[in-house]
Amino acid sequence: MRLAAALAIQKIDPANDVFVPVLVGALRAGEGGIFLEVEKMEGHAKWTVPTLNRLLSHPETKIRALTARVLGQLGPTTSDAESALNRTLRDPEEVVRKSARQAMEQITSKPVTGR
């Protein structure tokens, strides 16, 4: 219920950051649906970048790959994520590396080569 309310507040009044702790908590908990909601926020989700950068080191492959994808979808507004994504290009899992490459290309508008 709290998550739904926080998402509603974000949509109605994105400048009111009262929703941030609830959504950051959901991201940290690895709740998949919140990643999809953050993707939709695009330029209004820059506040998620520090949390997403940390999640690129999450123990679960799925969370790391999803995090990289979200950062890419957020686009150039997430240029703060470039160094974290560069490290992720060396992730042991191909799906994570692929997501990181795609995200870097979306953020920088340049092709990225990697492992």
Of residues 113 and 107, the one with the higher pLDDT is: 107
> Pick from 104, 34, 93, 97: which is nearest to 71 by CA?
104
19 burial via Cβ count (<10 Å: 0-12, 13-18, 19+): buried
Q: What is the pLDDT of residues 75-111, one digit of tens each?
A: 776 778 888 999 999 999 999 999 999 999 988 877 7
Ordered structural domains, the chain, with CATH: 2-108 (1.25.10.10)
pLDDT tens, position by position, 5-29? 999 999 999 888 999 999 999 999 9
Q: Where residue 114 falls among pLDDT bands split at 50, 70, 90?
A: low
- Which position has the token pair 């999640």? 55
- Please give the backbone phi and psi of residue 8, each rounded to the nearest 5 degrees, phi first: -65, -45
